[in-house]
Amino acid sequence: MRGSSRAALAVAVLIALWIVVYWRTERPAFDNPVMVEPPQSPPRVEDERRAPPVPEPTMPASGPQPTTGAATSPAVALAPTPLPLPAPEAKPKPEPKPGEVIPPAFDLYVIEKGDTAQTISKKKYGTPDHWRAVLRANPLLDFTRLKPGRTIRVPHDPRNIQGVKAPEPGAAYTEYTVAPGDTLSSISKALYGTTTKWRAIRDANPELDEEGTNLRPGTKLKVPPPSQPAGSTR
């Protein structure tokens, strides 16, 4: 009994010494705790690559949506098909008033290799006889030195180079048959009493050239009435 009592007493003394030594030293850190967040490790590159992409918000497409067929992506907007606009109607040119001067109209022609005034007249009018009209429409051009690729003017109407007067309404034309030796001047002298009205005869007959040099015996000409022989301002 004495041995066990002594052992128990020794243990109690050791415990008391340990308690005294413990409380005389500094208190542990948990008496005044400070909350410190653990450092966060940066995300790994592999995690960023594996992360699924975040879809961007899209606006719903305006207009009717297709109900049949394959499903379409919500990011694709179906724009409505615009209706074609009707072509504007070409307004007809007003008819010239009687005695009003009709301005000349010209077409553009690109000179080809080997062209002359006669060949251009043949291509445009179907006859080489209107070559003088081609010359008069290009007074500054030397037709003996035509260069391929150059653009010139060709009268739309070979009789209208500087403007012609519109005929009077109800003008009755007479017919004249060309006799051998006739010229436009002689016909004008015979019908109007003056040679200066030959242009009126020429303008009434589009098959004639500028000077009436292609006048042939037996040709039937339309002749304006004497009250209106002046059909041109040229």
Q: What is the pLDDT along the chain (234 residues), one digit of tens a residue?
A: 566 777 778 888 888 887 877 767 655 544 555 555 555 665 555 555 565 666 665 655 555 555 555 555 555 556 667 777 776 666 666 666 766 777 889 999 999 999 999 999 999 988 888 888 899 899 999 999 999 999 999 998 887 887 777 666 655 788 888 888 888 888 888 888 888 888 888 888 878 877 777 888 888 888 888 755 444 433
Q: Are strands 106-110 and 151-155 parallel, antiparallel or unpaired?
A: antiparallel
Paired strand residues for 95:
none
Contact 221, 178 (CB under 8 A): yes
Q: Are strands 106-110 and 164-165 parallel, antiparallel or unpaired?
A: unpaired
Paired strand residues for 223:
174
In the chain, the domains with their CATH numbers are 101-155 (3.10.350.10), 167-223 (3.10.350.10)
Least Cα distance to 154 among 118, 121, 115, 122 occurs for: 121
Q: What is the pTM of this model?
A: 0.44
Q: Euclidean distance between the first and final Cα of the chain, in Å?
A: 163
Tokens of 226: 């004497």
